[in-house]
Amino acid sequence: MLRELKNRIFICYLLISAILVIFPLLHILFSVFINGVPVVMKYGIDFLTGTLPAPNKPDGGIFPAIYGTFLMVFIASLIGIPLAVLAGVFVAEYPNNTISKATRSLLLIMMEFPTILVGLFVMAIFVVPTGSFSALAGSFALAIVMLPYVATYTEQAMRSVPRQFKEGAYALGLRKCRVVFSITLKIAKKGVVTGLLIGMAKVAGETAPLIFTAGNAWRSTGSVFEPNGAIPLWIYYLIQQPYANYHEIAWGAAFVLMVFFLAIFLPIRFSMVRS
């Protein structure tokens, strides 16, 4: 009897703990949805295609922020993904190498590293010498933030490939480079792609590095060498303004960002559950 009571108390404790853990996340999702959806419906398609309106004006949109986000995430992916995949391959293929061990430790540190410091670092080496904020500087900062996530997932995916496949390839006389990139990486592509998408979703919501690198722009310049806006930056700046319509736009932008993140994250989770 006592043992059954202890078991039920323990199960209730686990259930309450799980609810307390997910409650903040559900509250955030609900708050963004309940405040953001009416704004998007109110402004209509102009919210996605228009530019920032004047204070207390009923029209406008966040297209420059959407454009800036996709531009910087795209450039960051071009810079960071090749380097991250190669780093993950190196760490997975040479686990006992001194440089490999140091790289793995550095990647783990970078995953927990404050991203605002990444922004300060890029500002010191990129923005200050050129004398201007730019989308290129913001992309470089996002590439640094993305790199450890992609590299770590690539390493784990490579390590999960059964050794028999590699041994069979070596027995056929294939060179290491061919084995790694034509066989091992191909088998591990699902885990690698998961890392790529998680890295992209992570940097799409970053604000701190962009404050010191991309600056901000309320209109699209079309140049990677000029300051550019981004959805997280607009949310950060608009919510500080004293105008009601800017607060509305900030909520709508938060909803768009949440949809973008979930559109990447949910398919990843469902594919991992099915596999």
Span 142-187, pLDDT tens digits:
999 999 999 998 988 888 888 887 777 777 777 878 877 878 888 8
C-alpha span between 74 and 81 (Å, rounded): 10
DSSP character at residue 183 = I
Q: What is the pLDDT of residue 269?
A: 66
- Could you tell me the two tokens for 136? 């290129």
Q: Is the pLDDT of residue 275 over 60?
A: no
Q: What is the pLDDT of residue 9?
A: 85
- Tell me the whole-structure pTM to 2 decimals: 0.86
C-alpha span between 64 and 222 (Å, rounded): 9
Return the domain boundaries, the chain.
63-160+189-274
Q: Over the stretch 208-218, which tens digit does the pLDDT of each residue have? A: 999 999 888 88
Q: What is the pLDDT of residue 252?
A: 92
Which of 161, 199, 190, 189 has its CA nearest to residue 270?
190
Q: What is the pLDDT of residue 197?
A: 86
Class of CATH domain 63-160+189-274: mainly alpha
**pLDDT greater at residue 172 or residue 227:** 227
C-alpha span between 270 and 273 (Å, rounded): 5
